[in-house]
Amino acid sequence: MNNLPLAPAIVTDMVGSGFIIVFSFLSLRYAWLLTKKQPENFLWGFLFYFCLTLGAFAISRATGHLLKHILLFSGNHELWQIFSPVSGGTNTLLMTSLAAVTLYYHKGIEGYQAINRKAKSLKEAYDQLENAADQLQGMNLHLEEKVAERTLELSASEKKFRNLFNNSKDMVYFSDPKNHLLTMNSAGFKMLGYPSEGAPALNLETIFKHESDWESYYNTLLSQGFIEDLEVEFAKADGSTISVLLSATAVSDDKNQFCGCEGIAKDLTRIKTMMAQLSASEKMASVGQMAAGVAHEINTPLGVILGYSQLMMDDFPPESEQAQNLAIIERQTKACRKIVADLLKFSRQSESAREDISINEILMDVLAVTQHSLNMDHISVHRDFAQDLPPIVGDTERLRQVFVNLVNNAHHAMEKQGSGELTLSTRYDPGSHEVVATVRDTGHGIPENIQTRIFDPFFTTKSVGKGTGLGLSVSYGIIQDHGGRIEVESPVANRPSGENSPGAAFHVKLPVMLVETASVRE
């Protein structure tokens, strides 16, 4: 074993020590380049310090081996004995450091990963904050535009509601918990007869004509929260009454406490009037048919009675009791025949002539006949005739009969007063294409409860012997036969100041369109 040559081993040891130094420094350089490229990477930093320790160990070990061989070949064994412990201790210390760095590598990795996770979390939070900041900045930049856009939307919505509120033809109102009207549209003020500007403060309860209607409305509103199609009567400013169809909804606050209501009321007065007129027309049509049959059946025996009574009167002296009794029979028979004739006129069984006529001329003819009796009772006559009225087509005699009946009724309504005023007026209504003739008096008026009955056959308020109750019925039938209508008004609106009597006005409305129809037929 001692005879083996040591030169190859020594050369290999020295060459290997040199390579260790070279490779360790190459690794150290590569680790340094990685650390420089990614200084935040923990792994490259660890490898750099690991290679630095490895390089120091390689230098220490290689230097020790080289120094050993140089000193031994040169015969300085004693000097090597001095350096040998130092070299070995240094190598051991560096090897221990290298082992310690290697052993604690996984702890460093865990710390690095924890730091990375924390850094990633912080980065995400930072990104979120940055995004929120960008959004907030964008909102701040566009906040004014969005506010302006929203304001325009609200303004458009409010304008639509305001137009609906103001332009509605029905009453629209809002009230508070104590039922005071907070807001009401102009149609509501007009419906109640109050001015839109400067109207007094109104309470919803006082508008109801009947207390029972108010209690039903209010209790139902509180219990159900709404009212739908409730038909009630409202009191107008002038004391008159209108029928309305009422719908309302209760308004509650956040605590579900009643804080007012909002509602709509539709005026039914005109509809009710039209329904009453339609009902009256149907009733009078059926009565007219019956009257026509009765009149024809009665006419024949009345003619026989009248004829025989007149023949018998020739057999007795005029002063005799028999002649006087026959005169009574004749007179009463003629009265019956007049009633039958009126019934026939009411039922419109007779033929009537049609021609172009002027309402003004008919009224002048009627005044010529009746004015003397009117003057006898101190009733003054006023004429208010519109000029250039379009002509209508009708029967002059039958229309004259209508206005004679109306003037006589007005005369009877004022004769007990000892004086009065009768006004006859005409005008043209371009909206309905009608000529309107009005006969107005200052008499005692017509009670509201009988206004729907005055056109019924045989209905009269006159005493026995003063009238048969057929005058207005016949007049109604004649006007209806002409395609027109009669409307009654009592008390009369817009009476002159100082006039206390309610009065009555009959408006006869005849269509002028019949002129065109007649011309086409011709």
Supply the pLDDT for residue 139. 72
User: Which has the minimum average pLDDT: 146-155, 284-293, 404-413, 438-447?
Assistant: 284-293
Contact yes or no for 201/208 (Cβ under 8 A) = no
Q: State whether 439 and 497 are in the same domain.
A: yes
Q: Which residue has the higher pLDDT, 50 or 365?
A: 365
With respect to residue 504, please indicate whether it lies within any of the assigned structural domains: yes
Higher pLDDT, 495 or 47: 47
Domain boundary, last residue among 103, 120, 151: 103
Query: Bigger pLDDT: 209 or 75?
Result: 209
CA angle 470, 515, 271 (to 5 degrees): 55
Is residue 139 assigned to a domain?
no
Residues 380 and 503 in one domain: yes
| Residue 174 lies inside a defined structural domain of this protein | yes
**Structural domain contains residue 112:** no
Structural domains of the chain, count: 4
Residue 492 gets the label, from left (phi > 0), alpha (psi -120 to 50) or beta, of beta
Give per-residue pLDDT as tens, 162-178. Answer: 776 677 778 888 888 88
* pLDDT category of residue 435 using cuts at 50, 70 and 90: very high
Same domain assignment for residues 512 and 364: yes
Q: Looking at the domain assignment, is residue 61 inside a domain?
A: yes
Q: Residue 519: its pLDDT value, please?
A: 39
The predicted pLDDT at position 514 comes to 43
Are 366 and 404 a contacting pair, CB within 8 Å? yes
**pLDDT exceeds 70 at position 462:** no
Higher pLDDT, 497 or 428: 428
User: In which band, very low, low, confident or very high, does the pLDDT at 103 lie, cut at 50, 70 and 90?
Assistant: low
Residue in the structure block whose two tokens are 């190459």: 26
Could you tell me if 342 and 386 lie in one domain? no
Structure token digits, residue 81: 């004995």
Q: What is the mean pLDDT of residues 8-27?
A: 74
410 occurs within a structural domain: yes
Q: What is the DSSP string of 254-314?
A: TT--EEEEEEEEEE-HHHHHHHHHHHHHHHHHHHHHHHHHHHHHHHHHHHHHHHHHHHHHT
Task: Using the predicted structure, report yes or no on whether residue 7 has a pLDDT greater than 90.
Answer: no
Q: Binning pLDDT at 50, 70 and 90, where does residue 284 land?
A: low
263 and 298 in a common domain = no
**Tokens (6 digits) for 196:** 């839109």
Q: Which domain holds residue 457?
A: 355-521
Average pLDDT, the chain: 78
Residues 363 and 431 in one domain: yes
What mean pLDDT do residues 114-136 have? 82
Among 272-276, 482-486, 491-495, 497-501, whose mean pLDDT is lowest? 497-501
**Domain holding 232: CATH number?**
3.30.450.20
pLDDT digits (tens, 9 = 90+) for 26-69: 877 887 887 788 777 767 777 777 777 777 777 777 777 777 77
Q: Which is more confident, 513 or 168?
A: 168
